[in-house]
């Protein structure tokens, strides 16, 4: 059977000696629009502030109780903004308690080298120094992360889900 | 199936800042329900929504719903929260909307067919109040509110996020068993929030329901609502008073707690008390209906939600005093 691209796959490389995050810490947006979180999957570096603006006409109540960063932003209306600092690595499952069909994922990784696959399954990680890395991959629906070793001189990394 | 992704390590793409317009989303929801009130119900909702441009959005919803009562003259408000049980496909909402954000302000314009923006019944809380039987709504001649009130017209929101004024000028275009007469109606709502508190005042002047004793008159209804939320606990209260049919007056209130704490996982619990009092214009006799509800909404999977309500009602002998309602909704969404 022909391979199918895995959009929204998150890949990151272990980089314990990578430079620290800049100051002020990065801010990223997880939008709420048309009863949907946009994007569906977000990957950020540990310490990043994620803004949750409400750009709908209806109230939303963003929360994450299951794992990763646990929070409940309460209800807030259109035009209002709440934010969360993802200060620990791990996967957070984001929901709206008013609209059960809204769901998103935030993966916080302790590395500056990460990316999310586009619809074709391809992604790009910026400014990776030459070397050998342990890589991790996760995607929605996966029961566990994939891990492996990748060397920059070996060409592009291909991750295959079992 | 083997699934592959490829990474190309090159120099580009800094921090993944994300803001983008959404494409069209289609959603289907299928619900089935049973009640010990000798009622069974099924409904299918199809929705499409998204951005025409980054500034202009649309929302459309069509629904089919059917409800079976054990006997034709059996009275029950089970599963009356949201659907028009007409056993045929109907357009529920179809509107376009543009939101302007001048500086710190907020202006929203909506035109088309939309739910009446009164109180916390409108779409802003519609899903949340969907614990199978919406508070304060009865499909009787004394009830000034309905969850299937719809408007054909325009709606304007002006303000700042923490304080908005919303006004709708429209013609009633209701679906279901309660339909208002023809004419022009007006709804105004003021809503503000401070910290965890959200308060609103609504007023509506509209043609009477055809169920009303005086179907040619006008209904006026005013409501005050207050919500507070912290740590997964939401407390709500709403009070309404109005004249659904000339000299008759209906006053009602409810208070409830919606609880979703971290340890509860996929379960959201509700506890609610409510009461409606009304005077019949002909008998001048005061009557009431009181209901207490304990329930839960349980997310079984990402696409399946179970709702369970146990309730006790007094005041109207046509309703059974106790009931257990159970409903399952399966939703699939295609971006």
CB-side neighbour CA atoms (13 Å) of B21: 12
Q: Does A160 touch chain B (CB under 8 A)?
A: yes
- Cα→Cα distances B154→B40, B52, B180, B181, Å: 36, 18, 18, 19
Per CB-CB distance under 8 Å, the chain A contacts of B328 are: none
**Does the distance separating the beta carbons of B9 and A34 come in below 8 Å?**
no
Residues on chain A touching B125 (C-beta within 8 angstroms): 58-59, 98
Q: List, in sequence order, the alpha helices (H) in chain A.
A: none
**Smallest CA–CA separation between B6 and chain A, in Å?**
5
pLDDT at B12: 34
DSSP for B42-106, please give it: EEEEEEEEEESSSSEEEEEEEEEEEEEESSTT----TTTTT---SSS-EEEEEEEEEEE--TT-E
Of residues A162 and A28, more confidence is placed in A28
Order of strands, edge to edge, in the sheet holding A48-53?
A27-29, A48-53, A81-86
Q: Which residues in chain A are closer than 8 Å to B22, comparing Cβ atoms? A: 33-34, 36, 38
E strand or H helix that includes residue A96: strand A90-96
Is the pLDDT higher at A105 or at B126? A105
Q: Which domains does chain B have, with CATH numbers?
A: 25-334 (2.40.160.10)
| pLDDT, tens only, B21-78 | 557 889 998 989 899 988 888 989 899 999 888 789 999 999 888 888 877 777 777 7
Q: Average of pLDDT values for B284-313?
A: 88
pLDDT digits (tens, 9 = 90+) for B136-168: 877 777 777 887 889 999 999 999 989 999 999
Contact B19 A29 (CB under 8 A): yes
How confident is residue B282, by pLDDT bands cut at 50, 70 and 90?
low
Interchain proximity B193–A5, CB inside 8 Å:
no
Write down the residue that tokens 């109606």 correspond to: B185
CA atoms of B124 and B141, how far apart (whole Å): 26
- How far is it, in rounded angstroms, from Cα B124 to Cα B130? 12
Answer with the residue of higher pLDDT: B189 or B149: B189
Strand partners, A28: A50
Cβ-based contacts of A36 with chain B (< 8 Å): 22, 25, 335
The pLDDT of B197-215, averaged and rounded, is: 84
Interface test with A, best of B8, B9, B192, B299 (most A CBs within 10 A): B9
Side-chain half-sphere exposure of B158, counting CA atoms within 13 A: 4
Nearest to A97 among B11, B160, B268 (CB): B268
Considering only the beta carbons, identify the residue of A1, A98, A101 that sits closest to B128: A98
Question: Which residues, numbered 17 to 46 in chain A, qualify as contacts with chain B under a Cβ-Cβ cut-off of 8 Å?
Answer: 26-31, 33-36, 38-40, 42-44
What is the radius of gyration, based on Cα positions, of chain B?
Answer: 21
Whether cis (ω within 30° of 0) applies to the bond prior to B52 is no
* pLDDT at residue number B17: 41
* Cβ B55 vs Cβ B19: under 8 Å: no
Q: Which of A95, A103, A107 is nearest to A46 (CA)?
A: A107
Q: What pLDDT digit, counting tens, does each position of B69-122 carry? A: 877 777 777 777 666 777 889 998 999 999 888 988 999 999 999 989 998 865
Contact call for B6 and A158, based on CB within 8 A:
yes
Q: Confirm if B149 and B183 have CB atoms less than 8 A apart.
A: no
From A34, A78, A100, residue closest to B299, measured CB to CB? A100
Spell out which residues of chain A touch residue B19, defining contact as CB-CB under 8 Å: 29, 31
| B333 has pLDDT over 60 | yes
pLDDT of residue B229: 86
Decide which of B20 and B331 is more confident. Answer: B331
pLDDT computed for residue B8 by the predictor: 46
Tokens representing B211 are: 């169920």
- The ipTM estimated for the assembled molecules is 0.74
Query: What is the pLDDT at residue B21?
Result: 52
Question: Going by DSSP bridges, is the β-strand pair A27-29/B39-51 parallel, antiparallel, or unpaired?
Answer: unpaired
Task: Show residues of chain A in contact with B157, CB under 8 Å.
Answer: 57
Residues 6+ apart with CB under 8 A from A128: A13, A113, A152, B9
A-to-B residue pairs, Cβ atoms closer than 8 angstroms: 183
pLDDT of residue B148: 80
What pLDDT does A19 receive? 79
CA distance B247 to B281: 5
Report the pLDDT averaged over residues A117-144: 89
Min mean pLDDT across B190-199, B204-213, B313-322 is at B204-213
CB atoms under 10 Å from CB of B72, counted, come to 5
Q: Does residue A95 surpass a pLDDT of 50?
A: yes
Model confidence over B233-265: pLDDT tens digits?
889 999 999 887 666 788 999 999 989 887 888
What is the domain partition of chain A in residue ranges?
1-16+118-162, 19-110
Nearest chain B residue to A57 by CA distance is B124
CATH number for region A19-110: 2.60.40.420
CB contact under 8 A, B331 and A101: yes
CA distance A143 to chain B (A): 15
**Which element (helix H / strand E) includes A112?**
none
Tell me the pLDDT band of B10, cut-offs 50, 70 and 90. Answer: very low
């Amino acid at each position: 059977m022909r391979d199918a691209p895995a959009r929204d796959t998150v890949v990151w490389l272990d980089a314990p000696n990578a430079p620290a995050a800049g100051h002020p810490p990065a801010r990223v947006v997880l939008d709420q629009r048309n009863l949907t979180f946009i994007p569906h999957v977000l990957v950020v570096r540990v310490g990043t502030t994620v803004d949750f603006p409400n750009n709908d006409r209806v109230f939303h109540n963003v929360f994450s109780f299951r794992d990763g960063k646990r929070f409940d932003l309460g209800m807030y209306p259109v035009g209002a903004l709440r934010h969360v600092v993802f200060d620990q690595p791990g996967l957070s499952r984001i929901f709206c308690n008013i609209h059960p069909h809204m769901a998103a994922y935030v993966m916080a990784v302790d590395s500056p080298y990460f990316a999310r696959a586009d619809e074709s399954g391809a992604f790009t990680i910026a400014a990776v120094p030459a070397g050998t890395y342990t890589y991790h991959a996760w995607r929605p629906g996966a029961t566990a992360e994939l891990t492996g070793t990748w060397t920059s001189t070996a060409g592009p990394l291909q991750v295959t889900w079992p | 199936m083997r699934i592959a992704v490829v990474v190309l390590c090159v120099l580009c793409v800094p921090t993944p800042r994300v803001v983008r317009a959404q494409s069209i989303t289609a959603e289907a929801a299928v619900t089935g329900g049973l009640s010990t009130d000798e009622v069974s119900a099924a409904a299918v909702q199809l929705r499409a929504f998204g951005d025409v441009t980054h500034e202009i959005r649309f929302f459309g919803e069509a629904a089919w719903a059917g409800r079976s009562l054990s006997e034709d003259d059996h009275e029950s408000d089970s599963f009356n929260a949201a659907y028009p049980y007409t056993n045929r496909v109907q357009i529920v909402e179809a509107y376009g909307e543009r939101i302007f954000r001048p500086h710190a302000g907020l202006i929203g314009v909506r035109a088309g067919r939309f739910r009446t923006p009164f109180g916390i019944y409108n779409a802003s809380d519609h899903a949340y109040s969907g614990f199978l039987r919406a508070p304060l709504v009865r499909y009787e001649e004394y009830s000034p509110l309905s969850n299937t009130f719809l408007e054909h017209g325009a709606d304007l929101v002006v303000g700042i996020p923490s304080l908005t004024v919303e006004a709708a000028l429209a013609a009633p275009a209701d679906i279901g068993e309660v339909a208002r007469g023809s004419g022009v109606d007006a709804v105004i709502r003021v809503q503000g929030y401070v910290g965890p508190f959200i308060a609103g005042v609504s007023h509506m002047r509209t043609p009477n329901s055809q169920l009303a004793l005086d179907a040619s008159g006008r209904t006026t209804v005013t409501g005050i609502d207050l919500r507070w939320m912290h740590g997964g606990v939401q407390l709500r209260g709403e009070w309404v008073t109005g004249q659904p049919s000339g000299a008759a007056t209906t006053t009602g209130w409810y208070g409830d707690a919606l609880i979703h704490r971290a340890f509860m996982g996929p379960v959201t619990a509700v506890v609610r008390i409510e009461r409606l009092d009304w005077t019949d214009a002909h008998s001048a006799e005061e009557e009431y209906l009181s209901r207490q509800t304990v329930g839960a909404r349980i997310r079984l999977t990402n696409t399946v939600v179970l709702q369970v309500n146990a309730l006790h009602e007094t005041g109207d002998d046509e309703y059974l005093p106790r009931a257990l309602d159970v409903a399952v909704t399966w939703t699939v969404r295609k971006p």
